[in-house]
Chains A and B, each alone.
Chain A
Amino acid sequence: MHLSAARDFRARHRRALKLASRPTSLVAIAGVVLLLVAAVFGTLIAPYGSSKLDLAHALQGPSMRHFLGADELGRDVFSRLIAGARYSVVSAASVLTIALVVGTLVGALAGYFGHAVDEILMRITDVFLAFPSLVLALAISVTLGGGLQSAILAIGAVWWPSYARLVRGQVLGTKSNDYVEAARALGVRNTRLLVVHILRNCMTPVLVQLTLDIGNVLVTFAGLSYLGLGAAPGSPEWGATISDGQIYILTAWWIALFPGLALYLAALVLNLAGELVGDILMPGRSTRLGSDAGRRRRFGLRRGAPAKPSPPREALDF
């Protein structure tokens, strides 16, 4: 029984498994797993507490006692690196949750109702998109008083517009399909129509965009912390430790180098993982827009969809 279930699984997901076994993808998966393990179980693995001072060994290089060296107050760089992973993962997740929720709400309403609602919501989105993202995030963060929560809200506020646009485009494309009209004719009300029939069928690109964005959010958050507007001073967040460690770059280089490497590698594996997810869910991503097979896959037709695709037409009107 077991074996046949496993074989079925492998058969149905053969393509996905094949994609996932490429070397690039394996590295990406391993990296993401490592990151998550560090974020969740960090405190159990770390040899020292992330704020434990060891003044007697301040500024000492990598050694048996301090695997990756100690910083200016004797705190263990390795322990802080692991503790920082939690900050990064949690902050990135929070930011993207905000961006997803707000963006989907705005984009879905704009795409579905159209006309005045669409105009107003899209102009608001344009205002946010007009500013350079880091500058706007800085300004919002300072206004909100600085600190971790302010930084998360600030970056979330800067990130949602691209999701709004994406969702709006998807909704516009999906709502003109026959099955949606059929459902409406049957008397399905607006909310249920929107959520069940439309959104559920067009969220795949959004999911892919989400996975691709994690790396970028991570780096942006570290950037804000580097400038002093993210995590509080003394916290092991990677951007903050890079900033604190830079005056020692010529004498105690390990303080800034390792968090920097961690940030770089994390962003890299997260991007690769995003690519993998994109390849699995949307194989037609790089093909021409409007190709029949590509469009069918892209819109992930599932529930309520007819067996035959509707005739090709200008479904995307943005």
Chain B
Amino acid sequence: MTRPLRKISFRLLLYASVIGLTAVGLSACGQSGAKTKSSAANGPASNAPLVIDLGAGNAEPSSLDPDVDYDNGDYGILSQIYDQLVSASGTTSVSIHPSLATTWSSSKDGLTWTFHLRPNVHFHDGSLVNAKAVKFTYDRCLKMKQGGWADFAEVKSVDAPDPLTVVFHLKYRFSSFLNSLSSVNNGNIVSPTTLLKHQVNGDLGAKWLYNHDAGSGPYELTSWTHGQRIELHKFPGYWRGWKGNHASKVVFQFTAASATQRLGLENGSVDAAIGLSPQDFSALAKSSSVVVQNHQSLFVQYLALNCKKEGPLKNRLVRQALAYSVNAPHVAKFVWGGFATVAKSYAPTGIPGYVESPIQYKFDLAKAKKLLAQAGYAKGFSVDGVIIAGDQMGSLVYQLWQSDLSKLNIKLNIKPLPYPQFAKLQQKASTSPDIISNAWGLDYASDFAIYYQFLYSKATSVQGNWAYYGNPKVDAILIKARAAGQANSPAVLNLYRQAQKISYGDAPYIPMVQEPARIAIRSNVHGYQYNLGETPYDFNVYNMWKS
């Protein structure tokens, strides 16, 4: 600006601003209150692609290679492209169903599992899904050692004695083995024909599979526009067939804010969405063109306290004091808008092996003060609370907690860190953050995927034991439970009860709430069924269609 503003230009600027702001304001009000186009409730099926918005959180896969990625959102896409031996499903509690395997049995000692495969199933490339392909899949997973491969650390070898029989040999008895085959990370059966054809330097097709597909599922990959969308189209040779109403094309978007999703749902550019804020969700509940569903998910929001690092948190009494200072009902009400439920266990409700902890911490600042004084920290201390950058819920949890902590003379410094930086620091106990606020998504719906991941002293670093907790008594109980029979048997439930009694006393983690999954679907979209067994991002697209 080299010329000073003249009187007239300033007035012009002023008027322009006022008009501009008014226009923006009116259009915003207009959008939310406008009558949306009425949609045919049950007309004939439409061929337009189904548009599903997964939100900007963690939903875009880092890779389409099922043996590489490790984010919970990835399964929402992979489940459309691949099949697994078994599937886990249910709305409020999870059970295992046949998928590529029709029947199975295990030896008496639990070390050998035999699966019989469904005949006449084909991959997208035309080759048959047989025992060799299953063997190739698991060998690849264990060889590449990436993503969630540790879920199968107990597998010694896989055999394919005949084309429709697969045999797993385990190193030790593992009660959750069957559940682990439905993992959101691995166990997606890949086509050896395709992968070996595109192999480079013996990488088993890893470079190629990053953005291609080698599956047998209902949909094939059309395109992937990074940061925006993934498009899939139907695979005509899918083994379940296409009789009846099914979506023929689907577009997954990873756009953005809740407000954008809400506007998209209201004007019809988005057919289904997950990731709405509690407020937008409540507002959409009143809309006639959108149906909203709120379900429990397997995500538990918790605080991990670094038990090994030198500092006040190393002291058990201090951790207990912190546990008493968290107001979980407030977190459920003000951070999740009332849609979450207070957690009574490390585990989410609905999984086999769920049991409430015999010890519960109720919000009690007086008790917290007493414990701190006992530990010698009556004067308080300063501590860093880390969240992954972009985690707004985690940030709110800390802000809510900050004011209660200040009454105990504890200063909480909230530090958002980008994920790569966080992962690096988290590798060692001495550099790992003092407190981490996060929501843990289970790899598969069973006891082992939570208790073991959190409490086992050797499951440290990215695997899950972010508190660097280790108690030999708890380790012993977990190993016993791992080898036991059914997760829901009274004996096993009792073991987990004991494990929680001891570990809650040590307070390495403070579980706060079990997160809800808020799904919104336009009323002309049919067939959606929520699945607790995998992740909330997993839409049963094959059974969905729109009129």
Contact = CB atoms under 8 A, between A and B. Distances in A.
A141 to B, nearest CB: 11
Given A72-B334, A73-B400, A275-B5, A147 B418 contact: no
Contacts of B257: 246-247, 249
A251 B279 contact: yes
A275 B415 contact: no
9 pairs of A and B residues whose beta carbons are closest in the complex: A251-B279, A234-B399, A233-B395, A24-B10, A233-B414, A247-B277, A279-B4, A250-B259, A286-B2
Interface of A: 22-24, 27, 51-53, 55, 58-59, 72-73, 142, 146-147, 212, 228, 232-234, 244, 246-253, 271-272, 275-276, 278-279, 285-286
Contact of B334 (A73, A251, A275, A286): A73
A212 B7 CA distance: 19
Contacts of B269: none
Contacts of A147: 415
Contact of A244 (B31, B392, B413, B418): B392
Interface in B257-305: 257-259, 262-263, 277, 279-280, 283
B491 interface: no
Given A72-B396, A73-B396, A146-B416, 4 more contacts: A247-B277, A250-B32, A276-B4, A278-B4
Interface string B26-41: 0010011000000000
A51 B2 CA distance: 42
B330 A250 contact: no
A317 B10 CA distance: 36
6 contacts: A55-B330, A58-B334, A244-B395, A250-B259, A251-B280, A285-B2
B19 interface: no
B32 A232 contact: no
Given A23-B10, A234-B398, A253-B28, A246 B279 contact: no
Given A73-B400, A234-B414, A251 B2 contact: no
B400 A53 contact: yes
Given A72-B396, A247-B392, A271 B418 contact: no
Interface string B390-418: 10100110111011000000000111111
B435 to A, nearest CB: 14
A143 B180 CA distance: 39
A72 to B, nearest CB: 7
B513 to A, nearest CB: 16
Contacts of A278: 4
B17 to A, nearest CB: 8
A23 B14 CA distance: 12
In this complex, which of A55, A271, A278 has the most chain B Cβ atoms within 10 angstroms of its Cβ? Answer: A55
User: For this complex, into which size category does the number of interface residues on chain B fall?
Assistant: 35 or more
Contacts of A73: 334, 396, 399-400
**Which DSSP category, helix, strand, loop or mixed, fits chain B's interface?**
helix
Contacts, number: 91
B200 interface: no
A252 B5 contact: no
Interface string B374-404: 0000000000000101101001101110110
Nearest to A212: B1
A22 to B, nearest CB: 7
A234 B4 CA distance: 39
Contacts of B399: 73, 233-234
Given A246-B257, A249-B259, A250-B280, A232 B413 contact: yes
Contacts of B389: 228
B1 A247 contact: no
A51 B416 contact: no
A286 B3 contact: yes
A286 B387 CA distance: 51
Nearest to B418: A142
B5 A247 contact: no
Contacts of A252: 279
A233 B418 CA distance: 14
A249 B258 CA distance: 9
Interface string B407-433: 000000111111001000000000000
In this complex, which of A55, A244, A247 has the most chain B Cβ atoms within 10 angstroms of its Cβ? Answer: A247
Contacts of B1: 212, 271, 275
B262 A250 contact: yes
A205 B510 CA distance: 58
A126 B268 CA distance: 50
A24 B3 CA distance: 13
A146 B403 contact: no
Given A228-B389, A250-B32, A272 B416 contact: no
B503 to A, nearest CB: 29
Contacts of B28: 249-250, 253
B279 A234 contact: no
Nearest to B333: A55
Interface in B95-130: none
B415 A232 contact: yes
A246 B7 contact: no
A24 B279 contact: no
Contacts of B283: 250-251
B258 A247 contact: yes
A79 to B, nearest CB: 15
B277 A248 contact: yes
A147 B28 CA distance: 33
Contacts of A272: 5, 10
B334 A228 contact: no
B26 to A, nearest CB: 13
A131 B417 CA distance: 24
Contacts of A249: 28, 257, 259
Contacts of B277: 247-248, 251
Contacts of A59: 279
Nearest to A278: B4
A251 B263 CA distance: 12
A189 to B, nearest CB: 38
Contacts of B4: 275-276, 278-279, 286
A74 B501 CA distance: 36
A88 B31 CA distance: 33
B390 A228 contact: yes
A278 B5 CA distance: 11
Contacts of B395: 233-234, 244
Contacts of A22: 7
Interface in B1-24: 1-5, 7, 10
B75 to A, nearest CB: 25
A15 to B, nearest CB: 13
A246 B10 CA distance: 30
Nearest to B416: A228
Contacts of B259: 246-247, 249-250
A233 B400 contact: no
Contacts of A251: 277, 279-280, 283
A250 B416 CA distance: 26
A279 B7 CA distance: 14
A23 B7 contact: yes
Given A24-B5, A271-B1, A234 B392 contact: no
A250 B27 CA distance: 11
A131 to B, nearest CB: 19
Contacts of B416: 146, 228, 233
A235 to B, nearest CB: 9
Nearest to B262: A250
A278 B31 CA distance: 44
